[in-house]
Amino acid sequence: MTNPAIILVAPQMGENIGASARAMLNFGLSDLSIVNPRDGWPNERADAMSSGALDKMPPVQVFADTPAAIAPYHHIYATTARPRDMVKPVLTAAEAAADIRRRQAEGQKTAILFGGERAGLSNDDVALAQTIITVPTNPDFSSINLGQGVMLVAYEWFQAGDVTAAQAKDLPATQEELNEFIARLEAELDSGGFFRSADMKPTTLRNIRSMLSRSDLTEQEVKTWHGIVSALIGKRKHA
Amino acid sequence: MTNPAIILVAPQMGENIGASARAMLNFGLSDLSIVNPRDGWPNERADAMSSGALDKMPPVQVFADTPAAIAPYHHIYATTARPRDMVKPVLTAAEAAADIRRRQAEGQKTAILFGGERAGLSNDDVALAQTIITVPTNPDFSSINLGQGVMLVAYEWFQAGDVTAAQAKDLPATQEELNEFIARLEAELDSGGFFRSADMKPTTLRNIRSMLSRSDLTEQEVKTWHGIVSALIGKRKHA
């Protein structure tokens, strides 16, 4: 199974190339190609912004034009913010992630094109792709930074395959442990004159139980509560 | 309905503040606060990287510490890459987005904390939050750029849309109300000799805060807790 490649077409700022690389590796992608980068390659600003990602990834491939860059792939996606007058399927990043995963499972090699900072992909570049990816944004402020766009697509791709194992957690206290504490608290509150009216006592106790049970206290936390009550009433005993 | 606020705690680079603002506005968020920015505020590099977003948003609010920044909100989320030894719900960005939308529909004001570039949020800052947001990433390269992290959370929030039907509920206590109670409890525990060792006191206090904040106490419930503490220590006073 080959993970999707990211292809940056005519990117301007090295910082954005580096940010793209970092975002890719954050989400498990490492195949990066660049078409005709304005400031050449390698690029010191890209290295700095990548936070080490470029050192950990296979070497970036540099191409003179988009057709050369996309040649090895079975299916090409073009990212664009503006609608284009072309009859192609348009997917959100999440939909595209599912589509990419499906193609990968079939053995297809896929690549995702991103345009430069100023104007995005040219119509000629979009025409080379089979599928368009558009991220829904605030219509009044829709232009996404290049590195951010790469991150969103990488993030959705990662999410689409993520089956993160449940995080090991402390066991909650048993109901018995919780009930023992609540019974103790009730007894101490009784002798402290907390329940002004016998009528209201059941409701008040229910509310206290509700507060305590809602937070799924662990065994250790119930012990802490016992300690708190002891400290508060202990002041009396030692007074 | 109030959209969630973004709070950057001790950010270092103006570029990342600007990238955060741009990403926020891309996805319809515009309430940005900064705690203790390294290079002060305003910041020219932030302006440049925001691509005009900072001019279109309400003025950024600057605070000297995190408690002051979070005071107005009902529910606080802390973003963190590392697991923390605290018992709090841990949500993915997508899960958090749904949770935020639900709280908004109930009239709750929410805020999301992001830590600085070097080490993220301190344990003390994480302890101030009720809920943790962790974005699943490549375990071998998990550190996300600050602006990218803000983008992912804003993106998921935007994606989650506005679908949740409002369920009328009691408002939770504000952080200010909760903090007043915790401060009082600390003082009473101190004079009750609860904190055996000064070394352990911060951890114990964090755990107590974590238990209390996890259950979204309502205003009325915080009053009940005040009553409980008064009753327990009152026994001493009347003894």
Assess whether pLDDT exceeds 70 at residue B165. no
A28/B192 Cβ within 8 A: no
Cis bond before residue A58 (omega within 30° of 0)? no
Residues of A in contact with B79 (CB under 8 A): none
What pLDDT does residue B96 have?
A: 97
Residues of B in contact with A25 (CB under 8 A): 138, 141
Assess whether pLDDT exceeds 70 at residue A235. no
Nearest-neighbour CA in chain B from A141: distance (Å):
5
Please give the model's pTM, rounded to 2 decimal places.
Answer: 0.76
What pLDDT does residue B211 have?
A: 82
Q: Average pLDDT in the B107-134 region?
A: 94
How many C-beta atoms surround the C-beta of residue B197 within 10 A? 7
Residues of B in contact with A236 (CB under 8 A): 233, 235-237, 239
A137 lies within 8 A of chain B by CB: yes
Cα gap A77→A67, rounded to integer Å: 13
The answer to whether B204 and A198 are in contact (CB under 8 A) is no
Identify from B181, B235, B238 which residue to disrupt to test chain A contact, counting A C-beta atoms within 10 A and taking the largest count: B235
pLDDT band at B111 (very low <50, low <70, confident <90, very high): very high
Out of A91-105, B130-144, B223-237, which region has the weakest mean confidence (pLDDT)?
Answer: B223-237
Q: Average pLDDT in the B129-156 region?
A: 94
Out of A164-178, A180-194, B204-218, which region has the weakest mean confidence (pLDDT)?
Answer: A164-178
The answer to whether A100 and A3 are in contact (CB under 8 A) is no
| Per-state percent for chain B, helix, strand, coil, to nearest 5 | 45, 15, 40
* Sole residue written with tokens 């993220």: B120
Assess whether pLDDT exceeds 70 at residue B236. no
Assess whether pLDDT exceeds 70 at residue B74. yes
Measuring CA to CA, which residue among B207, B200, B45 is closest to residue B124? B207
Cα gap A18→A30, rounded to integer Å: 12
DSSP string, A183-204: HHHHHHHHHTT--S-TTTHHHH
Assess whether pLDDT exceeds 70 at residue B172. yes
A53 lies within 8 A of chain B by CB: yes
Q: Average pLDDT in the B70-77 region?
A: 95
Nearest-neighbour CA in chain A from B91: distance (Å):
11
The alpha helices in A122-200, defined as continuous H runs, are: 123-127, 146-160, 175-191
What tokens were used for B42? 């305003």
Percentage of chain B exceeding pLDDT 90: 63
A144 lies within 8 A of chain B by CB: yes
pLDDT band at B31 (very low <50, low <70, confident <90, very high): very high
pLDDT band at B235 (very low <50, low <70, confident <90, very high): low
Q: Average pLDDT in the B22-29 region?
A: 97
What pLDDT does residue A106 have?
A: 86
What pLDDT does residue A84 have?
A: 78
What pLDDT does residue B6 have?
A: 98
